[in-house]
Amino acid sequence: MRSDRGSAEPAPVAGPDEVRAALSDVGRIGPWFVVAVPPAPGARRWDELYAPPGTKGGDPLAARIAQVAAALGASDRVAASIAVQGMAARLVSAPFATVALHGVLPRLADLHRDPAADDPWAPSLPKAEEAGGPATTGGSATTGGSATTGGPAVSGASATSGARALSGAPAPSGVPATPADRSGPAGVRTPDPRTDPAGAADLLARELAASHLEPLHAAVAARVAVSERVLRGNVVSAIGGAARVMEAVRRPDRPAFLALLGALADHPALRGPLPSGATGRVLRLDDADPDTEWAFRRRSCCLYVHVPGGGTCGDCVLRALTRRPATHRSARRS
């Protein structure tokens, strides 16, 4: 494993039963934390969303942006931001919880979804023996090939050469594709976030970014002009939202998930080329107390304020400037 601190120690492999048990437990937190094992028949790889515009087989990402735009009466730019925030919530919630509560990180490159299901954005993971993609260690999030996603290249104008290239791509986390026991999802053990939040966050952030977030940001940029600060802020806001749900359901675990959130909020793999502090920060009532009251404040706006009848969300940078809160935050996740 390569980390921001320059180590080369491999993360220990988690047994498939460990990964499955962790996913089963966090799925009880709420619907946004559910990851089914295995995928339903007919499910497609999640990373097919990141294919370049015009790829044979349609453009589900553009279709989702158009669907959100029609539902909210919003511009494509606003709809793209809100669509990304909804996707981010599905991508980050379960792994954030499994790392915080169990010290287990599933291999996220293998995520699937079923476009024909009632909930076409519900993620699922195959058993390792059924996973079709190569290991994340085979490439970087910005290469034109499929080493990090197991799917098609990000785009013909790829993340490194597109109209708005994304720099500062993270090194892959090294979550292996094929553990010795392949009867369940692949994954690794992470450090305990209560004692080593930076180590746990490093594995999680780089797995998320290399497998999904960098390709997603580049794919959106190939279709709609949206500020990178907004998109990256949306991701960290989604992680903060997951922590807030866990606050209500798993309150005794606050020291673990709050420490992990604090280490993720400004992680270089999530903020990319943006300056430190650009995505947001955790506000603590008592910095010395690991179980303190807290809030998250982002440094950008998801643009829901520009939706007819919209407003600001609870963590919005504009909240101090407007008195009308967003009343339909769930719309971005529908």
pLDDT in tens, 88-118: 999 999 999 999 999 999 999 999 999 999 9
Count the Cβ atoms, other than its own, within 10 Å of residue 202. Answer: 28
**Using 50, 70 and 90 to split pLDDT, how confident is the model at 294?**
confident
SS3 state of residue 295: strand
Decide if 5 is inside a domain: no
Of 332 and 292, more confident:
292
Give dist(CA 128, CA 323) in Å, integer: 49
pLDDT of residue 16: 92
CB 106 within 8 A of CB 125: yes
**Using 50, 70 and 90 to split pLDDT, how confident is the model at 45?**
very high
Non-local CB neighbours of 159 within 8 Å, separated by 6+ positions: 141, 142, 165, 166, 169, 214, 215, 217, 218
pLDDT of residue 191: 97
Decide if 157 is inside a domain: yes
pLDDT of residue 318: 63
- Report the domain count for the chain: 1
**Using 50, 70 and 90 to split pLDDT, how confident is the model at 219?**
very high
Q: Tell whether the model's pLDDT for residue 218 goes beyond 80.
A: yes
Decide if 7 is inside a domain: no
Q: What is the mean pLDDT of residues 306-323?
A: 65
Of 123 and 280, more confident:
123
pLDDT of residue 210: 97
Decide if 126 is inside a domain: yes
Question: Element (H or E) spanning 198, and its range?
Answer: helix 197-208
pLDDT in tens, 122-173: 999 998 766 654 333 333 333 233 222 233 222 223 332 232 223 334 455 5
**Using 50, 70 and 90 to split pLDDT, how confident is the model at 214?**
very high
**Using 50, 70 and 90 to split pLDDT, how confident is the model at 187?**
very high
**Using 50, 70 and 90 to split pLDDT, how confident is the model at 8?**
low
Decide if 272 is inside a domain: yes
pTM of the predicted structure, to 2 decimals = 0.80
Decide if 8 is inside a domain: no
Q: End-to-end distance of the chain based on CA atoms, in angstroms?
A: 36
**Using 50, 70 and 90 to split pLDDT, how confident is the model at 195?**
very high
Decide if 238 is inside a domain: yes
Q: Give the amino acid at 150.
A: G
**DSSP 8-state symbol, 13:** B
Of 135 and 64, more confident:
64
Average pLDDT over the chain reads 80
Top-ranked range on mean pLDDT: pick from 20-29, 145-154, 164-173, 277-286: 20-29
Of 320 and 292, more confident:
292
The string of DSSP letters for 146-205 reads STTTSSS-S-SS-TTTSTT----PPPP----S--S--SS--EEE---TTT-HHHHHHHHH
Q: What is the mean pLDDT of residues 291-312?
A: 76
Give dist(CA 248, CA 50) in Å, integer: 34
Of 328 and 66, more confident:
66
Decide if 68 is inside a domain: yes
Domain that includes residue 317, residue range: 16-333
